[in-house]
Structure 1
Amino acid sequence: MNIRRWTVGVLAAALIVPGVAACNSESAEPTAAASSAPADPKEALRASTKELAAGNFTFTMAGDGLTGKGLVHKPSNSVQFDMSFNDGSGSSMAMEMIMIEKDSWVRVDFGELAESVPQFAKLKDKFQHIDQSKIKDSDALAVDLENPDPAGAEALFKAVTDVQKTAENTYTGKLDASGVTDSGAIDSDLVKALGDQAKALPFTAKLDDQGRLAELAIPIPAAGETKAHEIKVTYANYGKAAAAQKPPADKVIEASPETYQMFQ
């Protein structure tokens, strides 16, 4: 599940409004109990992502101007997350997405922009219902429960070039993100902006007492127009996430033809 690509596509679609031109999750702190992770640090990191493939967990994400939380529940083929965006200049936007089987519901709060566009203000409390079977470009949504990790930690750990165990359940090192193509946390635009710096990004990973990934933090250095920031993802409630629920019927409107055209 590539959250970066998904949110870009959905936010673009949400801006296409008929008649308008586009103008806790519970923290997963590792315990002090002895970890069941492999002794070799690289193997421990790679093994820590295996449980993510089961698609039953909650997560939080934070990055450059983005914060969010959500759940993945593969047993019911459902996903739900809330994301907030801030461009650093005072403008903000928030989005909530629910996906169950072949249906998606998206609610967008356009923040300050809604004050000048009445149609945007009306969408603040409404979910647009999107029938995924009507979308030809399925990658635009990119909610793939066969690859349910929102950050793509498995791909990132395969790119680890150096790692040490620095404390119980805690690992630090460096990774070469220059060749990573299937991570939701680090996309190609960021890699391009970082240049050679992408080849030696520092990271810290924390596992829970069963050797499962609990937290991944990657400090990103300043480069060009990219300011220094930290990408941080946490995972919790393995095997205990609740299925996503449809929004109330009185809060749902059908997505417009203009919205569907964005994905054709």
Structure 2
Amino acid sequence: MKALKSVVVAMSAVAVLGVTAGCGGSESGGGAGAPAAGGTEAAAPAVTPADPKEAFLQAFAAIEARHYAYTMSVDGTEASGVVYAPGESSTQVTSGELEGTKFSTETAYVGGKAYTKLDFGSGNSSLGIDPGTWYELDLNIAKQLDYTFEQQSPVQSAFVKSISSVERDGDAAFKGTFDFAVASENNPNPQTKTLLQALGDTAKTAAFTAELDGQGNVSGLVFTIAKTDKTPEIKQTLTFTEFGTAKAPEAPANAQPAPASLNNIYK
């Protein structure tokens, strides 16, 4: 059950890397704008700053605006979802294997409520869940998820203040370094704290690359943390589309109250 709890907490709604969902913090980080109105694609301003870091932050603004679809891959785990700023809602579908347990999860945060549908194979009976059923979590109990709309962005604003260096890599790309310890501030995921301890000073020199779309927005990010004596190389890849046009997530129909065993696993 301990291993199953680790899997659920790590992957059902927050990822192990602190730059992904669950970092916490809702401050703006250098250029966040309002989501595009009227169903139009968000576009970066026509004038691009000469300073590479300022130019990157300007291109990053569409992500900070929190209205897009995304895909994510990290250490064999695949995820996709929507972050919808106008309704402060989000969805995520995740699948992979962690600690020898294959899993698939779906989560939705809509109207201030959190829903999840999980399949952990033999672990389902321990949790008392049906893999085909949506459950509404009791957020008075399941606090470790720290569900707020700000938490749902795959890249949190803490990443911005963690950036150490940025340089251009051609006309439509950037590369740079960031401090993973700073990027993961206030992350409620205990897996992240364990990872930081294992990384030591290596966390301070994490690398990133970014690609731009035709409108000048960051459409792809790759985060890389170098191998250490205690950890393998960690690489996380994200892509972003549908800026300002992503469809609003909906609450799942016929969701059941989550059993105590499921709520308690997030304590």
TM-score (norm 2): 0.72
TM-aligned CA deviation for residue 183 of structure 1:
8.2
Q: Is 1:228 matched up with 2:238?
A: no
TM-aligned CA deviation for residue 189 of structure 1:
3.1
TM-aligned CA deviation for residue 86 of structure 1:
1.1
**Correspondence list, 1:164-179, <5 A:** 164-179=167-182
* Deviations, residues 200-229 of structure 1 (Å, cap 9, x unaligned): 222211122333221111222222442223
Q: Secondary structure at the match of 2:116?
A: strand
Corresponding residue for residue 166 of structure 2: 163
Corresponding residue for residue 149 of structure 1: 153
The answer to whether the 8 A contact 1:78-1:244 is kept is yes
Residues 198 and 131 of structure 1: CA distance in aligned 2, closer, same or farther (over 3 Å): closer
1-structure distance, mates of 2:11, 2:211:
31
Q: Is 1:126 matched up with 2:133?
A: yes
Corresponding residue for residue 193 of structure 1: 198
- When the two chains are superposed, the root-mean-square deviation of aligned CA atoms in Å is 3.4
TM-aligned CA deviation for residue 166 of structure 1:
1.4
Corresponding residue for residue 60 of structure 2: 49
* Deviations, residues 164-200 of structure 1 (Å, cap 9, x unaligned): 2111220112223243334879944333222122222
TM-aligned CA deviation for residue 245 of structure 1:
1.9
The answer to whether the 8 A contact 2:69-2:82 is kept is yes
Residues 6 and 144 of structure 1: CA distance in aligned 2, closer, same or farther (over 3 Å): farther
Q: Secondary structure at the match of 2:201?
A: helix
Structure 1 range deviating more: 178-187 or 39-48: 178-187
Corresponding residue for residue 82 of structure 1: 93
Q: Secondary structure at the match of 2:57?
A: helix
Residues 263 and 84 of structure 1: CA distance in aligned 2, closer, same or farther (over 3 Å): closer
TM-aligned CA deviation for residue 119 of structure 1:
6.8
TM-aligned CA deviation for residue 106 of structure 1:
0.6
Corresponding residue for residue 109 of structure 2: 99
Quick one: percent identity of the two aligned structures? 24
TM-aligned CA deviation for residue 70 of structure 1:
0.3
Flag the structure with larger Rg. 1
The answer to whether the 8 A contact 1:6-1:142 is kept is no
Corresponding residue for residue 210 of structure 1: 215
Q: Secondary structure at the match of 2:50?
A: coil
Residues 109 and 35 of structure 1: CA distance in aligned 2, closer, same or farther (over 3 Å): farther
For structure 1, the 5+ residue unaligned runs are 13-33
Residues 234 and 92 of structure 1: CA distance in aligned 2, closer, same or farther (over 3 Å): same
For structure 2, the 5+ residue unaligned runs are 1-5, 14-44
2-structure distance, mates of 1:161, 1:92:
36
